[in-house]
């Protein structure tokens, strides 16, 4: 069974731009969560989507948003990029039951 895939793997943007990251969960997984990983703050929860609805949201500004499609694929968007948004963005998927989350390889975003 294929794992969680994320595209693109690397991105370089400049301040003020916006970016969209994509995640395809493991087949059969309907819950998709997004996390931000930085050296200073570690891994932090952004939001979770289940059946196209945002079910949970972390403590991030409104510039961070996401959505989920009917096939469970998810995208996250960051508008008006700031230098501090440089991070590894990780997507994780899980089954309806059980709390194990399986992570993708991440998208490394660099904001210049």
* Residue 100: both structure tokens together: 């194990």
Residues that bind another protein (CB under 8 A): 4, 31, 33, 35, 42-45, 48, 55-56, 58, 90, 92, 94, 98-106, 108
Least Å from the CB of residue 16 to another protein: 27
The secondary element (H helix, E strand) that includes residue 75 is: strand 74-78
Question: Prior bond to 8 cis, omega within 30?
Answer: yes
Least Å from the CB of residue 56 to another protein: 4
Closer by beta carbon to another protein, 18 or else 32: 32
Least Å from the CB of residue 68 to another protein: 13
Closer by beta carbon to another protein, 73 or else 95: 95
> CA-to-CA distance for 85 and 65, rounded, in angstroms?
13
């Amino acid at each position: 069974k294929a794992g969680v895939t994320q595209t693109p793997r690397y991105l370089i943007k400049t301040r003020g731009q916006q970016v969209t990251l994509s995640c395809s969960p493991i087949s059969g997984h309907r819950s998709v969560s997004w996390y931000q990983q930085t050296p200073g703050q570690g891994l932090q929860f952004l939001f979770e989507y289940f059946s196209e609805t945002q079910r949970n949201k972390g403590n991030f500004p409104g510039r961070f948003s996401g959505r989920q499609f009917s096939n469970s694929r998810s995208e996250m968007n960051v508008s008006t990029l700031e230098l501090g948004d440089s991070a590894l963005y990780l997507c994780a998927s899980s089954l309806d039951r059980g709390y194990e989350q399986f992570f993708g390889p991440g998208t490394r975003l660099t904001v210049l």
